[in-house]
């Protein structure tokens, strides 16, 4: 039987890093961020709904969505964030499910879905097991600031817009603590693979 694993965590906690470990080990990974980007291509229903709500000022001169500007709008205002999520999430969920079905039919025993808002969006209902990538807040802030070149205040805003990692850890079937070196995290990943193979 196939196991669908919902891979989540906080912003910049290391989801994509662990997703690449799964890929390197030959497991298929569905990236919901990529799906969300795809469905916001110019001309789609989701694109039109975003422009209708957020206005043309959300577009770059080439007519594509200015993701940075959209990000700033939604992290300033929780209601705006909810509206964007309502536009994007249902379609992301449907596309993810159909991709997972195809992979199941192909006979994959383990299928990984990278979903930043797994618990917040109720996506955990669609998966068999949940894996949370966790880091202490101070490290999360540092890595987010370094990766995105943003100020501490904005990094904190983004972090605080999500369910606290402590709460996610409580709900998780498995937790990887990504505070240490990549090698340390890789070792935890290898232990997890062993446990999954036994499950």
Which of 32, 96, 130, 185 contacts ligand ATP by CB under 6 A? 185
Which of 52, 147, 152, 170 contacts ligand ATP by CB under 6 A? 147
**6 counts as binding ligand ATP under rule CB under 6 A:** no
- Tell the smallest beta-carbon distance from residue 16 to Mg ion (Å): 3
**How far apart, in Å, are the Cα atoms of 109 and each of 1, 9, 105, 158, 194?**
6, 23, 10, 35, 14
Q: Where are the alpha helices (DSSP H) in the chain?
A: 15-24, 32-39, 45-54, 67-76, 78-105, 137-148, 152-160, 165-171, 182-198
Task: Tell the residue number behind the tokens 């805003």, with chain if given.
Answer: 157
Site string for ligand ATP, 18-47 (x = CB under 6 A): ------------------------------
188, 194, 197, 199: CA torsion to nearest 10: -80
**143 counts as binding ligand ATP under rule CB under 6 A:** yes
**Part in contact with ligand ATP (CB under 6 A); list of ranges 4-12, 66-74, 124-132, 187-195:** 4-12
Chain positions contacting ligand ATP, by CB under 6 A: 9, 11-17, 116, 143, 147, 178, 181-182, 185
């Amino acid at each position: 039987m196939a196991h669908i694993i919902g891979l989540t965590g906080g912003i910049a906690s290391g989801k994509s890093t662990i997703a690449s470990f799964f890929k390197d080990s030959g497991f298929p990974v569905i990236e919901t961020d990529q799906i969300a980007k795809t469905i916001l291509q110019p001309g789609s229903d989701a694109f039109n709904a975003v422009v209708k709500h957020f206005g043309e000022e959300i577009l770059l001169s080439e007519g594509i969505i200015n993701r940075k500007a959209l990000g700033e709008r939604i992290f300033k205002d929780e209601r705006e964030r909810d509206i964007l999520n309502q536009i994007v999430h249902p379609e992301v969920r449907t596309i993810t499910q159909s991709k997972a079905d195809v992979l199941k039919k192909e006979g994959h025993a383990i299928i990984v879905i990278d979903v930043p808002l797994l618990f917040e969006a109720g996506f955990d209902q669609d998966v068999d097991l949940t894996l949370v990538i966790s880091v202490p807040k101070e490290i999360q802030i540092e890595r987010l600031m370094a990766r995105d070149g943003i100020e501490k205040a904005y990094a904190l805003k983004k972090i605080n817009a999500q369910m606290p990692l402590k709460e996610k850890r409580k709900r998780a079937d498995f937790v990887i603590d990504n505070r240490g070196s990549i090698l340390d995290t890789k070792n935890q990943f290898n232990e997890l693979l062993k446990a999954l193979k036994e499950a």
